[in-house]
Amino acid sequence: MSKNAKLAVLGSINADHILNLAHFPRPGETVIGQNYQVAFGGKGANQAVAAGRAGADIAFIGCVGADDIGERIREQLTQDNIDTTPVEVVEGESTGVAMIFVNGDGENNIGIYSGANAALTPDCVARHQQVIAGADALLMQLESPLESVLAAATFARQHQTQVILNPAPATPLSDELLALIDIITPNETEAESLTGIAVHNDDDAARAAAVLHAKGIGTVLITLGSRGVWLSEQGDGQRIAGFSVKAIDTIAAGDTFNGAFVTARLEQKPMYDAVRFAHAAAAIAVTRSGAQPSVPWRTEIDEFLQQQG
Ligand code: RIB
């Protein structure tokens, strides 16, 4: 893939309602929060923004509602260097919503209303098939209807477009879909849900990767939080450490990693360098709050890497 290689991202768009509080409420408990903000999010949009700000030539396939926030999100995506022509406005539906609690340790939990994201149907994918056919790589997640993810992956395979799947949130996947994936990027929880292997250490990660290779996936990247990632190419595995920073909010850290990683690969960076580039982008993101507000631009990633030596 060349420096001008094209990326298509297909996925969700949400308005994130984020409440920071000391600890997560237990069932029946009310906790008074310290800070509340509405920020643009959604795993698809976050990954598209991460790629756009990192310098990718990118088009985004997604859906917003016919509402004010959907309009503002589309404008912002355009400013983030993203071709939003394939972002559809769905009449009679609201833009997707994520209700997010962030606790004092920077951890989060999330509840979602899909809204317009549910309108990203196989028919919608078919309307934008030329975007997929004309791309060198297609990046997807699992906040869109599964049948649409399958339709897009099938279409990508027919047109030699590389398929990268970030299987988040954790969802059981068919062997039919897995066989169409070139690169998969689960975290530990998602890797366990896909393989049945609990990932506590590098050996577990290697065994989980082997299960995914056996399904037909050439490259497996299991993200391991503060321990970095386990990279396995056709069973040849290594752990690549991340950067140590003080995290205040991990929302969209994985999304930033994915968008930056694919951008680097499209620039033909070797796998190891692409992972380090993505680690740097994610390390910056966790030092900031919110999803898209936390995603760094290319100059920031390059400077961070330079400082690391
Ligand atoms: O990955 C983080 C994202 O998950 C948030 O932006 C939220 O919208 C949910 O989709």
Residue 216, domain member (yes or no): yes
Closest ligand 1 atom to Cα of 12: 10
What's the CA-to-centroid distance between 252 and ligand 1, angstroms?
6
Tell whether 279 is in a known binding site. yes
Tell whether 43 is in a known binding site. yes
Residue 25, domain member (yes or no): yes
Pocket flag, ligand 1, residue 99 (CB < 6 Å)? no
The best mutation among 9, 12, 13, 14 to test binding of ligand 1, ranked by most ligand atoms within 8 Å of the C-beta, falls on 14
Digitized pLDDT (tens) for each residue of the chain, 309 residues in all: 455 799 999 999 999 999 999 999 999 999 999 999 999 999 999 999 999 999 999 999 999 999 999 999 999 999 999 999 999 999 999 999 999 999 998 888 999 999 999 999 999 999 999 999 999 999 999 999 999 999 999 999 999 999 999 999 999 999 999 999 999 999 999 999 999 999 999 999 999 999 999 999 999 999 998 899 999 999 899 999 999 999 888 899 999 999 999 999 999 999 999 999 999 999 999 999 889 999 999 999 999 999 997
What's the CA-to-centroid distance between 139 and ligand 1, angstroms?
16
Report the candidate in 309, 294, 291 with the shortest Cα–Cα distance to residue 243: 309
Residue 230, domain member (yes or no): yes
What range defines the domain where residue 142 resides?
6-308
What's the CA-to-centroid distance between 235 and ligand 1, angstroms?
31
Q: Give the tens place of pLDDT for each residue, 15-42.
A: 999 999 999 999 999 999 999 999 999 9
Task: Give the DSSP letter string of 254-302.
Answer: HHHHHHHHHHHHHTT--HHHHHHHHHHHHHHHTTS-SSGGGPPPHHHHH
Per the structure block, which two tokens stand in for 194? 């896909």
Instruction: Give backbone dihedrals phi and psi of 238, rounded to 5 degrees, phi first.
Output: -155, 150
Residue 90, domain member (yes or no): yes
Domain holding 131: CATH number?
3.40.1190.20
Residue 1, domain member (yes or no): no
Closest ligand 1 atom to Cα of 291: 6
Enumerate the β-bridge partners of residue 57: 6
The best mutation among 12, 108, 251 to test binding of ligand 1, ranked by most ligand atoms within 8 Å of the C-beta, falls on 251
Pocket flag, ligand 1, residue 42 (CB < 6 Å)? yes
Please list the active-site residues: 255
Report the candidate in 84, 139, 81 with the shortest Cα–Cα distance to residue 258: 139
Structural domain count, the chain: 1
What's the CA-to-centroid distance between 262 and ligand 1, angstroms?
19
Pocket flag, ligand 1, residue 211 (CB < 6 Å)? no
Residue 278, domain member (yes or no): yes
pTM score of the predicted model: 0.97
Pocket flag, ligand 1, residue 286 (CB < 6 Å)? no
Other CB atoms within 10 Å distance of the CB of residue 75: 11
Residue 164, domain member (yes or no): yes
Pocket flag, ligand 1, residue 204 (CB < 6 Å)? no
What's the CA-to-centroid distance between 20 and ligand 1, angstroms?
15
